[in-house]
């Protein structure tokens, strides 16, 4: 903050003269506060007050700037739980240490918007929800499908991307539908919505279910011929098949969209709302759309917010 000190030495006679004339033309201090949004997380008290007034005066009623403080576990840091092994959502680059992917870039954008440092906590999927409830990290950005069970146990956001579950088989497979799984096998990543779907309907379908810790293992088993199919998310299937896509086919796709949100500890409503507002702002400026098109080749976020 810049301070101005005005020092004027006047004689007693002049003071009296001015008082008698009633002349009080001293100019008010100029206000150079910019009305544009700011992502600074700390500010002097007077600046914070001016920012609050600016936000309140926004006739659109939308949040145009990040809050001055964010209630995170570590001051100035957004700790994000993530299973970094689920491309194209979250995975390691070719160097084996740099995390990349859709969720990684969304989490980065949210942290930047809030003026926070991002810390990714690579966590096994089977313990990821327990981790957020025991304060190992602030939030999960890791392809968390929104289900009633998860909403009952955690704070789950509004969706920021959507997806479909699909059944993938080799081109020469006799499997052409879910019903054709009878007497065959399918691979899923354990404790995902794909796993829950198959656990619920597996006996009815007559399918042998194989559960793996990583979705990569599912596709390795399919390509090696040790399982007959893979049941997973459409964007994940497209990534893993890659150049081999011509050798495989999608024989079933869920008609219903599978919405994906972030997950915060149950009852931490303040942080949940701050992150929701950040996502809204990143939607409004096109940031999330750009990230989706980069990793999916299309916008899987349209109409969600």
Domains assigned to the chain:
77-162+259-296 (3.40.190.10), 165-253 (3.40.190.10)
Widest CA span in the chain: 108
Best CA proximity match to 110, nearest among 144, 75, 140, 151: 140
Best CA proximity match to 271, nearest among 49, 40, 73: 73
pLDDT at 19: 37
Helices and strands (DSSP H and E) totals, the chain: 10, 13
pLDDT at 49 over 80: no
Contacts of 58 (CB under 8 A, 6+ apart): 64
pLDDT at 42 over 80: no
Distance of alpha carbon 87 from alpha carbon 84, whole angstroms: 8
Q: DSSP of 235-298, one letter per residue?
A: HHHHHHHGGGGGGEEEEEE-SS-EEEEEEE-TT-HHHHHHHHHHHHHHHHTTHHHHHHHHHHSS
The residue with greater pLDDT, 124 or 28, is 124
Quickly tell me which residue has 């903050």 as its tokens: 1
pLDDT at 31 over 70: no
pLDDT at 65: 72
pLDDT at 151 over 50: yes
pLDDT at 33: 32
- pTM beyond 0.75: the answer is no
pLDDT at 263 over 50: yes
- For residue 303, what pLDDT band results from cuts at 50, 70 and 90? confident
Is 114 in a helix, a strand, or coil? helix
pLDDT at 20 over 80: no
pLDDT at 59: 34
pLDDT at 245: 87
pLDDT at 50 over 70: no
Best CA proximity match to 215, nearest among 171, 154, 157, 166: 166
pLDDT digits (tens, 9 = 90+) for 165-217: 999 999 999 999 999 999 999 999 999 999 999 999 999 999 999 999 999 99
pLDDT digits (tens, 9 = 90+) for 78-113: 999 999 999 999 999 999 999 999 999 999 999 999
Share of the chain above pLDDT 70, in %: 79
pLDDT at 160: 95
pLDDT at 299: 79
pLDDT at 64: 52
Contacts of 118 (CB under 8 A, 6+ apart): 77, 78, 80, 107, 108, 111, 112
pLDDT at 242: 84
């Amino acid at each position: 903050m810049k301070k101005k000190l005005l020092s004027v030495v006047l004689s007693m006679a002049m003071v009296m003269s001015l008082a008698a004339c009633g002349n009080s033309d001293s100019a008010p201090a100029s206000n150079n506060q910019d009305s544009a949004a700011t992502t600074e997380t700390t500010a002097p008290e007077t600046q914070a007050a001016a920012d609050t007034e600016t936000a309140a005066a926004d006739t659109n009623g939308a949040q145009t700037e990040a809050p001055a403080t964010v209630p995170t576990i570590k001051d100035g840091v957004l700790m994000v739980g993530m299973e970094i092994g689920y491309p194209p959502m979250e995975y390691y680059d070719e160097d084996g240490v740099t995390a990349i992917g859709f969720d990684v870039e969304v989490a980065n954008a949210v942290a930047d918007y809030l003026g926070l440092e991002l810390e990714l906590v690579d966590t096994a999927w089977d313990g990821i929800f327990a981790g957020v409830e025991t304060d190992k990290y602030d939030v999960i950005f890791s392809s968390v499908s929104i289900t009633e069970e998860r909403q009952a146990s955690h704070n789950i956001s509004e969706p920021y991307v959507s997806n479909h579950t699909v059944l993938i088989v080799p081109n020469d497979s006799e499997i052409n539908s879910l019903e054709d799984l009878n007497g065959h096998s399918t691979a899923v990543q354990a404790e995902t919505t794909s796993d829950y779907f198959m656990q619920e309907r597996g006996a009815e379908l007559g399918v042998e279910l194989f559960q793996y810790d990583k979705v990569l293992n599912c596709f390795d088993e399919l390509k090696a011929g040790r399982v007959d199919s893979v049941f997973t998310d459409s964007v994940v299937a497209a990534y893993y098949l890659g150049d081999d896509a011509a050798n495989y086919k999608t024989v079933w796709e869920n008609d219903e969209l599978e919405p994906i949100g972030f997950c915060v500890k149950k009852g931490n409503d303040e942080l949940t709302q701050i992150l929701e507002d950040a996502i809204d702002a990143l939607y409004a400026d096109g940031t999330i759309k750009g990230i989706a098109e980069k990793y999916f080749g299309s916008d899987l976020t349209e109409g969600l917010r």
